[in-house]
Amino acid sequence: MDTPSTPSQPHILKTKHTCSVCDIRRLLLDASNDENLPPTLACEIKCRGPFLPGDPIYKSGDPLTTIYAVTSGCIKTETINYEGYIQATGFYLRGEVFGYEALGENQHAYDAYAIDRTWLCELPMTALNSICLQNPRSLSRLFKLISQHNRAHLSLTSVCGRTADQRIFDFLCNLSERLQRQKCAVLNELSLPMTKEDIANYLGITPETISRSLRRLDKAGLITYKGKMFSIVADAREVMNDSG
């Protein structure tokens, strides 16, 4: 894999952490049994940024030292597939944790890049290990986050007789649910943080297919789409499920 470019500018490191939707914060709250983070736990979290589009977060083979959560922006992970091509493996939005694919081997399996102006929260693995040893609920929460992401990834990337329109619609629904859960959406109108090329690479289809499918879904009244803005029309999920 190509060596990523160096960060576009020096990153600012903050110790204050106020993001109420961050999954790292939820892990620590599980450990503290309190609605507010104790100072000793809050001080373990560092906020770093801004990362600009194309800035690397870590590379495949780097040792696992930190678990990350997106404070703002979007992160893409990618790897080299068996044919030697770059393959997107995931997108992480505000509040979502990433970097945990390294837990088994203690080194990262993917490259991670910012694809938008991004700030990150960082929790050292030494602190996470200590927290999980003291409170098994935090470990259970971490496993649940990993399981949820893996199930969603397998569902979205599986072909299994599904048309391109169905796969793209499912991707948009998944994205919509995540953005709304993390309070990144105004009403039902959402902005795609990634490009059509990124989506096509992740789903294993061509950018041209993405464009045609978006037009068909829009014309069928299942979504509204203009530029990078989209929304899922009410009852569209039921219509798509019935047609499948």
Tens digit of each residue's pLDDT (9 = 90 or more) over 53-112: 999 999 999 999 998 989 889 999 999 988 888 999 999 998 888 998 888 889 999 999
Q: What is the pLDDT of residue 45?
A: 79
Tens digit of each residue's pLDDT (9 = 90 or more) over 157-191: 665 667 889 899 989 988 888 887 766 555 567 88
* Residue percentage of the chain with pLDDT more than 90: 31
The CATH label, of 2.60.120.10, 3.30.460.80, 2.40.220.10, 3.40.50.150, for the domain at 12-156 is: 2.60.120.10
Which of 37-46, 97-106, 119-128 has the weakest average pLDDT? 37-46
Q: What is the pLDDT of residue 136?
A: 75
pTM: 0.81
Q: What is the pLDDT of residue 8?
A: 53
The Cα 13–Cα 171 span in angstroms is 33
Strand partners, 76: 91, 113
The Cα 104–Cα 205 span in angstroms is 30
Please check the confidence at residue 4 and state whether its pLDDT lies above 50.
no
Q: Where are the beta strands (DSSP E) in 20-169?
A: 46-51, 56-58, 66-72, 75-80, 86-92, 97-98, 111-114, 118-124
Q: For the chain, which residues make up each domain, given as ranges?
A: 12-156, 164-243
Residue type, 15: T
Tens digit of each residue's pLDDT (9 = 90 or more) over 11-31: 666 655 455 556 676 666 554
Q: What is the pLDDT of residue 240?
A: 67
- Asked if CATH classification 3.40.50.2000 holds for the domain at 164-243, the reply, yes or no, is no
Q: Which two tokens stand for residue 87?
A: 């393959």
* Residue percentage of the chain with pLDDT more than 70: 73
Instruction: List b or e across 63-101, with b for residues whose CB sees 16 or more CB atoms inside 10 angstroms.
Output: ebebbbbbbbbbbbbbbeeeeeeebbbbbbbbbbbbbbb
